[in-house]
Amino acid sequence: MNRTMMPVRAVCPGSFDPITRGHLDIISRAAEVFSEVVVAVGHNTTKNYLFDFGERVELARDAIANLENVRVEPIRGLLVDFCRQHDARVIVKGVRFGSDFDYELQMSQLNRQLSGIETVLLPAGREYGTISSSMLREVAHNGADISAFVTAKVNAAVLAKIAEN
């Protein structure tokens, strides 16, 4: 069946502290499926961040610069409100393990009930399935090389932050 699809804007939300190659894998795969992807860099008041809000937004913007149909926007407040404000019909989330899936399934059901917005869950690529921003921050603090898991600019920024502290 040959159907013409309407352009669909998707949102990839996260705290991105820092943005990793795992995040970029999910974002670039979403960019292949959807006409536009908005990377929504959020701020959770219960989290302790390595990078401040503005730094996380700028590092994300730098990391996605080569993706034509992707842009980065800061988000404060509810994700579903952000989606409505940006005319996004889909939320895209990456999942690594069953625990990620269980959590994201609950969130997707709540988001759909609140707004009718659907969630697409993309499994993490094999090479990125075991990494998280918090894990990378921890191993970097202990002197490990994280350059295989982040862009060069992010790696330099992490090293600089660790040196500051």
Examine the residue annotation and report whether 96 is marked as an active-site residue of this protein: yes
Examine the residue annotation and report whether 35 is marked as an active-site residue of this protein: no
Note whether 74 and 53 are within 8 A (CB).
yes
Indicate which residue of 35, 47, 134, 141 is catalytic. Answer: 47
Indicate which residue of 15, 21, 56, 133 is catalytic. Answer: 133
Indicate which residue of 23, 56, 93, 137 is catalytic. Answer: 23
Indicate which residue of 96, 112, 153, 161 is catalytic. Answer: 96
Examine the residue annotation and report whether 23 is marked as an active-site residue of this protein: yes
Examine the residue annotation and report whether 153 is marked as an active-site residue of this protein: no
* DSSP characters over the chain: ---PPPP-EEEEEE--TT--HHHHHHHHHHHHHSSEEEEEEE--TTSPPSS-HHHHHHHHHHHTTT-TTEEEEEE-S-HHHHHHHTT--EEEEEE-SHHHHHHHHHHHHHHHHHH--EEEEEEPPGGGTT--HHHHHHHHHTT---TTTS-HHHHHHHHHHHHH-
Catalytic positions, please?
23, 47, 96, 133
